[in-house]
Amino acid sequence: MTPAPTADQLIAWVRDARQRTLHLIADLSDAQLLGPQLSIVNPLLWEIGHVAWFQEKWVLRREPGTASIRADADALYDSAAIAHDTRWDLTLPDRRQTLCYLDAVRDRVIERLAHPRASSEDVYFVMLSVFHEDMHTEAFTYTRQTLGHAAPDIVADASRAEATPAISGGDVLFPGGGFELGASADEAFVFDNEKWAHRVELAPFAIAKAAVTQAEFAAFVDEGGYRDRQLWSEPGWAWRTENDASHPVYWTREGPGRWLRRDFDRWIALEPNRPVIHVNWYEADAYCRWAGRRLPTEAEWEAAAAYNGAGKPKRRFPWGDDSPKLQHANLDGRSMGCMDVEDLPAGDSALGCRQMIGNVWEWTASDFQPYPGFVVDPYKEYSAPWFGTHKVLRGGCWATRARLLRNTWRNFYRPERRDAFAGFRTCAIRP
C-alpha cells in the first residue's frame, strides 16, 4: 500500500509546485508571457492563471455556489469552455494581478490543509491540483524550448558529469505469459486512465536496453530516411509532406556528417550518446521500419519496466518500490537536459532496461484507449476526450516531476506532436 501524503507533505507539495510555476516565468518579459499564437502552446499568462483556477475549482469551490476569488475566473481560465485559439484574444489580468491570484489560491489551499477537519476528499483534490500543476510546469518548459527562450535556471545536478559503466547494446527478453497491466488500488492516487490492473497475455518479445540515440537517428536521416516513402505510414507520409520534414525539428546541418541541435536559445553539437528527443510518433515509426524494428506496445513497455520474475508482484518503478532518487532517474529538471543512455545503471529494470523512468518520454505503438471497465473520474476532461486520437507514451522525461510517476503512468499526445521531450526505444520484430 502506498500511503497518502500527510497534510504537512501536501502543504510542501503545494508550495513546491507553485514555486516551480513562478520560477519558470519569472525572467520572461510581458511580451513573452503572451507570445505568438501557435497550436502547440498556450499564452503563458493565461496558462499560469489557469493553473490557479484549476486548483481553486477543485479544492476550494467544490461546494455549489462557492464564488471565486476573481469574479471573472471562470470566463477566463476554464480550458474546457475556452477554445485554444481564442486565449490570446481574452482581456487577461496583467502579470501583477495574475500572480496575486496564484498567491491567494495557494494560501487558501494551505489554510484548508492546515485545518484539523481537512477531509480525505480535500487530500485527493489537492493531489489532483498539484499533479495538474506539475504537468503544466513541464509544458511551460516545452514552451520555452518551442519559442527559443533561454533555458530556465532550475537546479544544476553535479552527478551529471560522473562517469558510469557503459551499457552493452542489444535487447533483453521478456519470456511471455500473463501480466497485470495498469495500476492497483494500493496506490494513494491514480488517474482514471490507469484503472485498473487487468491481466493481459503477452507473447515473448525482445526490447532494447536503451532508448534510440541521436547518433542512431542521425544515421537514419543521413541515409535518406525522410525521403523514402516505403518507410512511412500513409498518415506519416502525409504529415512529412505537408511539413516538408527532412530531419528532427530542432536540428540543422552544419556540414557533412555534422548536425547541430537547438537547445532552448543556443545551438550545440549533437550529443551522439544521448537519446533522440523532440521526434513525433510518425518519425519514430519510420525509424523503426528503417532499422527493421518496431515500437513496443504499452503493455510490453510496462512489462519490461515492472516485471520482477514469474509469480512475483510487479515493481512500482523499474528498480523496485522505492521512490526515485538521483541515482535512479533523470527527473525534476535537475540536469536541465538529457543524460547519455549509458547513465544511471542503478535505475535498471529487473530485465535490464535502462532509463525507463526519466530522461525522455517514450512513444509506444499503442493508441490511447480506456482500460476495461473504465469509469471517468471527477475531472472528466482529463482522459475521455482524447481516447482514440492520441498515442501512448511512457516513462517521463528529464523535466517531469518525480512525484507524478510510476511504471503504470500513461501519457498521451497526438502522433504529430514534436514539442514534447519524447524519444523512443525499439523492439525486435517477431519471426
Q: How far apart are alpha carbons 289 and 52 in whole angstroms?
A: 44
In the sheet where 205-208 sits, what is the strand order? 171-174, 205-208, 427-428, 293-294
| Predicted confidence (pLDDT) per residue in 2-31, tens digit | 888 999 999 999 999 999 999 999 999 999
pLDDT for the residue 166: 61
Q: Which helix (H) or strand (E) holds 317?
A: none
pLDDT for the residue 116: 84
| Predicted confidence (pLDDT) per residue in 365-417, tens digit | 999 999 999 999 999 999 999 999 999 999 999 999 999 999 999 999 999 99
**Topology (CATH) of 154-431:** paralog of FGE (formylglycine-generating enzyme) (3.90.1580)
Retrieve residue 191's grid coordinates.
Answer: 488517474
| Predicted confidence (pLDDT) per residue in 68-119, tens digit | 999 999 999 999 999 999 999 999 999 999 999 999 999 999 999 998 888 9
Size of the chain, expressed as the number of residues it contains: 431
How many helices, marked H, and strands, marked E, lie in the chain? 10, 13
For the chain, the average pLDDT equals 95
| Predicted confidence (pLDDT) per residue in 364-374, tens digit | 999 999 999 99
- Count Cβ atoms below 10 Å from residue 270 Cβ, excluding itself: 18
Q: What are the residue boundaries of the structural domains of the chain, listed by start? A: 7-146, 154-431
Amino acid letter for position 273: N
The CATH code for residues 7-146 is 1.20.120.450
pLDDT for the residue 169: 72
| Predicted confidence (pLDDT) per residue in 132-183, tens digit | 999 999 999 999 999 999 999 886 554 544 445 666 679 999 999 999 999 9
